[in-house]
Structure 1
Amino acid sequence: MVRLPLTPEEVERGQRLGALLRRARGERSMLQTALDARVSPETLRKIESGRVATPAFPTIAAIADVLGLSLDAVWAEINRTERGTRAPRSGARLAS
């Protein structure tokens, strides 16, 4: 499978997702959060650092559940722009 290069918008969206998850995790350890979500700590670290800009939906759903985040809140956060408006929906991908 050939992966298409990420667009700048996808990279920014991945960075916003990572920041949201780090804030929601707070003082909770990355290891415990990852174990509770049944993902590897390395996967969580990569998502939080923005290195995985388009993680799989089930992965995000599991992490969001553990952190008490609604998927609506996650979607709203990752699709905002600097001016507070939503980015266009066409072509938006959460997972590749």
Structure 2
Amino acid sequence: MVRLPLTPEEVERGQRLGALLRTARGERSMLHTALDAGVSPETLRKIESGRVATPAFPTIAAIADVLGLSLDAVWSEINRAGREQLAS
């Protein structure tokens, strides 16, 4: 199966997601956050750096849960910039 290239909007959304998770993690260690969420530290590192622009939903749900973020808040935040651009 061939994976289609990501659109610029998808790349930007992935970068916003990574920044949101990184900020929410704060001083908590990446290792403990990843292990508590059931993902590898490398996966969390890639998501936080925006290198994985479209991570799997269960992965994001697990990380958000560990960080105390609601999925509604995550979705709203990562899509906010796109809505602001459309409004301009």
TM-score, normalised via structure 1 length: 0.82
Task: Give the CA deviation at 1:63.
Answer: 0.1
Task: Give the CA deviation at 1:71.
Answer: 0.1
Task: Give the CA deviation at 1:90.
Answer: 16
Alpha-carbon distance in structure 1 between the residues aligned to 2:21 and 2:54:
14
Point out the structure with the larger helix share: 2
Alpha-carbon distance in structure 2 between the residues aligned to 1:66 and 1:90:
25
Q: How many residues align?
A: 86
Task: Give the CA deviation at 1:5.
Answer: 0.2
Structure 1: which 5+ residue stretches go unaligned?
Answer: 80-88
Per-residue Cα deviation, 1:12-55 (whole angstroms, up to 9, x for no partner) = 00000000000000000000000000000000000000000000
- Cα distance change, pair 90–74 in 1 and its aligned pair in 2 (3 A): closer
Alpha-carbon distance in structure 2 between the residues aligned to 1:90 and 1:45:
23
Alpha-carbon distance in structure 1 between the residues aligned to 2:86 and 2:69:
16
Q: What is the percent sequence identity of the aligned residues? A: 93
- Structure 1 runs (4+) deviating above 6 angstroms are 93-96
Task: Give the CA deviation at 1:77.
Answer: 0.8
Alpha-carbon distance in structure 1 between the residues aligned to 2:86 and 2:37:
18
Whether 1:90 and 2:85 are equivalent positions in the alignment is no
Per-residue Cα deviation, 1:50-93 (whole angstroms, up to 9, x for no partner) = 000000000000000000000000000111xxxxxxxxx999x9
Q: Give me the CA root mean square deviation.
A: 5.2
